[in-house]
Each structure stands twice: as structure tokens, then as C-alpha cells.
């Protein structure tokens, strides 16, 4: 299969088109059509090679969790007409992402290791090691950048700048922790630990909705429950399911998205390995077998399914 690098459809009554790091978004009067491409990003940079079936994995994992949590938090999803496509409500997005962390890993660990004990206004205790469980889940929000890097920001600064109204922000925090709790439960059922994740929200007609993806490998980090305690006791790396292995490979090859750095070459074997890891994550997180959808002309299939969904 040729991976989906991008789409360029023109639909009747289409209002606008936006190309995100991974998704191509088609806006209509009251709906959004999101096509999950096979692009992959790290350090807020889209890498030059797309990963076969990555978009299908993301779209179907997100749909799985959006349906599972719809009774807890209102969300934008209306239908999934294609393995790579979700259609939902067009909400006005908030200018922040709600990052919830249950463990000290990834960016938070890198900040902590550098000696900083406050992340996004949240103070962390001394004496923690990488991948330690935090005393309680914390929210470390970031600004939402259309281009370039998302930036850490505190709750206090969000309210001070008026990025989100105080009453809305309180609801975002509640919703984020509810979703993290449910995600933690569902992960545990599959022998996994939900380490950290991010949520995006929007508003429509006075109601706050969860939007975009949820609990996917692009937005979340998972550890395997098995041997977690033993690995921590022995100061060993945790076996994890996320795209952190891609970030680690980039760091090892001298790239962290900083000015002047060049993305290292991605071999066919490495691209295939990334694809296999995404499929593994789908099956482990959902408990279902992944069925690769690669028959026929992929672009024609996607366009036809969108048209049938919107206009039939």
C-alpha cells in the first residue's frame, strides 16, 4: 500500500480546508470531516516519510474511545464512514490542550531531570525517578499551535491572558480528569498503564465537547503493567506503547526539532517497523484484531465514502 501523504478533495458546500500535522480537515457549515493521513510528526515537525496504516490506526482507536466515553463527556463524533475518516460537529476549539500525566515520563521527565520542579505551574516533589507514578494525576496544559511548537503554560497564565474563561476552564479540568480515569480503567483491562495523554475541547451552542482524537499513540503514552514494579525497582526502562520510540530514535540521531537540525533519513525497514508498532498498539489497546484496509484505490475509496455520508 502507498501510504496516505495527504488529500486534496473538493466537496460541494465545503467552507474551508486545513492541513494539520497528521489530519486533513474539511470544514462545512456545521460539520468537520477529518481524514487521518499516514503522516507522522515528532517534536511538532512532520517527518518526511508517511507510515503505512498509521492513519487507520489513529482513526479507529480514537473512534473506539470516543464511543466508550460518550456517556461521560459530550464529544464531537457523529460517524466513521471510512477507516481513515471521522465526521463530527464543528465546534469552536479552545486555544489550549489539556495534558494529563499520571507518571513522570517524556517531556515532564526531561524538565524534571534538568532540575525544574515546577511544570506548567504544578509543583512536583523531590526524589522522583523516571517513570515513577505521581502522587495523583496532574494537568500540565499547553498552548495549541497551528504551526511550530506547542508551549507549556500554567492554569494561572491561561486565566490571566483570558485564553479560556475561568468557569469553562474548570469544566475542562473536570472533563480531562474524568476521561483520564476512564482511559486508565480501559487500559488496565488490557494489561496496560495509561501514562499520560492530551485532550482537546471545543464549544458549540454553549456546550463543551471533547474534540479531535483520544487515547491514541499520537496523543498518549502507555506502559505494560507486567513487570512495571520490577523495572522501577531495578531502574530499568519500561516497555511502552507510544510513539516515544520514534522521538528517542530522532534524539539519538541528533534531531529534536530545533532550528538548524535536519531530520535523519528514514529507511524502508525503519518505516515498516514503525507501522508494525502502531498496529501492535491498536491491537493491545483495543483488544481487537487490526484489519488492514488497503483494497482498491485508497483516495477514491475515501472520497466516495465521505460523499456518500454527507450527501446520500
Residue 260 sits at φ, ψ, to 5 deg, of 90, -15
Residue 264: predicted pLDDT: 93
C-alpha cell at 37: 493521513
In this prediction the pTM is: 0.90
Task: Tell me where in the chain the CATH 3.30.200.20 domain(s) lie.
Answer: 16-92+267-311
User: How many other C-beta atoms are found inside a 10 Å radius of the C-beta of residue 114?
Assistant: 7
The CA distance from 176 to 72, in Å, is 11
Residue 93: predicted pLDDT: 96
Residue 295: predicted pLDDT: 64
CB 164 within 8 A of CB 94: yes
The CA distance from 13 to 155, in Å, is 39
C-alpha cell at 275: 507501522
Kindly tell me the sign of the dihedral angle through the C-alpha atoms of 84, 280, 178, 65: positive
The CA distance from 229 to 238, in Å, is 9
**93-245 architecture in CATH?**
2-Layer Sandwich (3.30)
CA distances from 41 to 68, 148, 210, 213, 218 (A): 27, 11, 22, 15, 8
User: How many other C-beta atoms are found inside a 10 Å radius of the C-beta of residue 289?
Assistant: 8
Chain CA centroid to CA 44, Å: 12
Residue 149: predicted pLDDT: 58
CATH class of the 16-92+267-311 domain in this structure: alpha beta
Task: Tell me where in the chain the CATH 3.30.470.20 domain(s) lie.
Answer: 93-245
C-alpha cell at 205: 451552542
Residue 293: predicted pLDDT: 84
C-alpha cell at 218: 499520537
Q: What is the mean pLDDT of each run of 10 residues along the chain (312 residues)?
A: 90 95 95 96 91 95 97 98 97 97 94 94 95 96 72 94 97 98 97 96 98 91 95 94 87 91 93 92 94 83 95 83
Amino acid at each position: 500500500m502507498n501510504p496516505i501523504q495527504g488529500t486534496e478533495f473538493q466537496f460541494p458546500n465545503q467552507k474551508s480546508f486545513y492541513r494539520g500535522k497528521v489530519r486533513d480537515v474539511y470544514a462545512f457549515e456545521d460539520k468537520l470531516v477529518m481524514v487521518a493521513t499516514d503522516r507522522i510528526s515528532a517534536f511538532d515537525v512532520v517527518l518526511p516519510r508517511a507510515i503505512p496504516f498509521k492513519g487507520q490506526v489513529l482513526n479507529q482507536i480514537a473512534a473506539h474511545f470516543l464511543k466508550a466515553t460518550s456517556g461521560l463527556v459530550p464529544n464531537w463524533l457523529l460517524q466513521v464512514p471510512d477507516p481513515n475518516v471521522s465526521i463530527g460537529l464543528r465546534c469552536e476549539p479552545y486555544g489550549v490542550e489539556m495534558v494529563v500525566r499520571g507518571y513522570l515520563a517524556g517531556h515532564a521527565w526531561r524538565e524534571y531531570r534538568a532540575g525544574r520542579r515546577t511544570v506548567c505551574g504544578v509543583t512536583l516533589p523531590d526524589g522522583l525517578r523516571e517513570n515513577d507514578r505521581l502522587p495523583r494525576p496532574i494537568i500540565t496544559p499547553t498552548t495549541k499551535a497551528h504551526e511550530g511548537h506547542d508551549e507549556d503554560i500554567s492554569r494561572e497564565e491561561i486565566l490571566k491572558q483570558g485564553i479560556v474563561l475561568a468557569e469553562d476552564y474548570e469544566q475542562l479540568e473536570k472533563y480531562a480528569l474524568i476521561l483520564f480515569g476512564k482511559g486508565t480503567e480501559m487500559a488496565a483491562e488490557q494489561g496496560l498503564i495509561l501514562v499520560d495523554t492530551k485532550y482537546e475541547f471545543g464549544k458549540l451552542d454553549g456546550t463543551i465537547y471533547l474534540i479531535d482524537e483520544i487515547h491514541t499513540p499520537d496523543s498518549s503514552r502507555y506502559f505494560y503493567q507486567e513487570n512495571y514494579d520490577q523495572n522501577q525497582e531495578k531502574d530499568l526502562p519500561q516497555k511502552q506503547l507510544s510513539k516515544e520510540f520514534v522521538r528517542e530514535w530522532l534524539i539519538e540521531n541528533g534531531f529534536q526539532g530545533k532550528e538548524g537540525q535536519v531530520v535523519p533519513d528514514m529507511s524502508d525497514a525503519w518505516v515498516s517497523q514503525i507501522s508494525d508498532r502502531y498496529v501492535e498498539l491498536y491491537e493491545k489497546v483495543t483488544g481487537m484484531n487490526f484489519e488492514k484496509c488497503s483494497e482498491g484505490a485508497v483516495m477514491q475509496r475515501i472520497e466516495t465514502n465521505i460523499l456518500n455520508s454527507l450527501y446520500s
